[in-house]
Amino acid sequence: MPTAPFRLHPDLDRHAIRDAYRRDGRVRIHDLLADEGALTLRNWLKRREEWRQILNSGDKVYELDRATRDGLSEAQRRTLDEAVMAGVRAGFQYRYESIRVPDGIAARLAADDPLSAFAAWLSGAEALDFLREVTGHADSVFTDAQATAYAPGDLLTAHDDAVAGKDRRAAYVLGLNPEWRAEWGGLLLFHDGADRVTGMVPAFNTLDLLSVPQAHSVSMVTRAAPSRRYAITGWLRAQRQPD
C-alpha cells in the first residue's frame, strides 16, 4: 500500500480559488497540502536515482537513464546540447528529468512510495472533488502524474496540452521548491499573446492549475540555480481510469 497520507490544507479559500480559476482560466493555490506532505515528496524525490531524462528531436522522443548519460563523452554531451538548443530556435523542444507514475489503480496501490501515494490521493474523493469544484469539470474522473526535475539548461517550450484522445480538462503543477528566485529560470510562463507573457516563479507546496488548451512553457533553468526545479505535474482527465 502507498505510504505517506495526504490531505488538503483546511484553510484553503475554496470560493476565492474557484472564482479566480473561472475568471482567468488558471490559478495558483498556496499551501495546498496540510502537515508535512509537500516536504515528504520533495525529500523523497531528491533521494531517487531512477530519474530518466526526457527530450525530443522533432516528433521523436528519447529517454536516457543516468547510467547512459554518465557514459557519454564530452563531445557527445556537447552534440546533444547543441541539438536541444537548435530545437529551441526552430520550434517545440523540451528536456527535463522524469519519474512516471502508472495510471492504473492497482499499480498505484501496489507501490510503496510517496509519489504513487500522492497520485492515488489526487484521484481520490477529497482531492478530485476539490478539483472538480474549482475547474467546473464535473466529468473529470482521475488525474495522471509524473515527477519532474529541471536542471540547468532544461526547459519546455510553448505548447497547449491539447492531445486527441487524452480528454484533458486541466493541467496542474505541484511546486516543491522552498527557495527560488525568478533569475534562476524555471518559470511557468503563460503566453497571453504574441508579445505578452505572465510568469509564475517556482515555489513550495503550491498548485498551479490551468485550463486546457492554454499556451504555456517552462523557461530554461540557469546555471545560477542551486538545485533542480522539482515538481509533480499531470492532467485532470475525463476518461475511465485503468484498473
pTM for the full model? 0.96
pLDDT of 2 higher than 60: no
Q: Which DSSP state fits 112?
A: -
Q: What is the mean pLDDT of residues 135-139?
A: 98
Distances (CA, A) of 152 to 80, 122, 238: 14, 29, 35
Q: Residue 38's closest CA among 117, 144, 152, 124? A: 117
Tell me phi and psi for residue 170, to 5 degrees: -155, 150
Cα distance between residue 202 and residue 186, in whole Å: 7
Q: Residue 170: exposed, middle, or buried by beta-carbon count in 10 A (0-12, 13-18, 19+)? A: buried
Task: Extract the C-alpha cell encoding 199.
Answer: 510568469
Cα distance between residue 170 and residue 211, in whole Å: 4
Confidence (pLDDT) at 5: 83
pLDDT of 3 higher than 80: no
pLDDT of 168 higher than 70: yes
Of 3-7, 103-107, 149-153, 231-235, which range is least confident? 3-7
pLDDT of 65 higher than 60: yes
Confidence (pLDDT) at 4: 57
Tell me phi and psi for residue 68, to 5 degrees: -65, -45
> Is the C-alpha dihedral spanning 78, 82, 88, 92 positive or negative?
negative
* 9 — pLDDT class (breaks 50, 70, 90): very high
Enumerate the β-bridge partners of residue 149: 97, 230
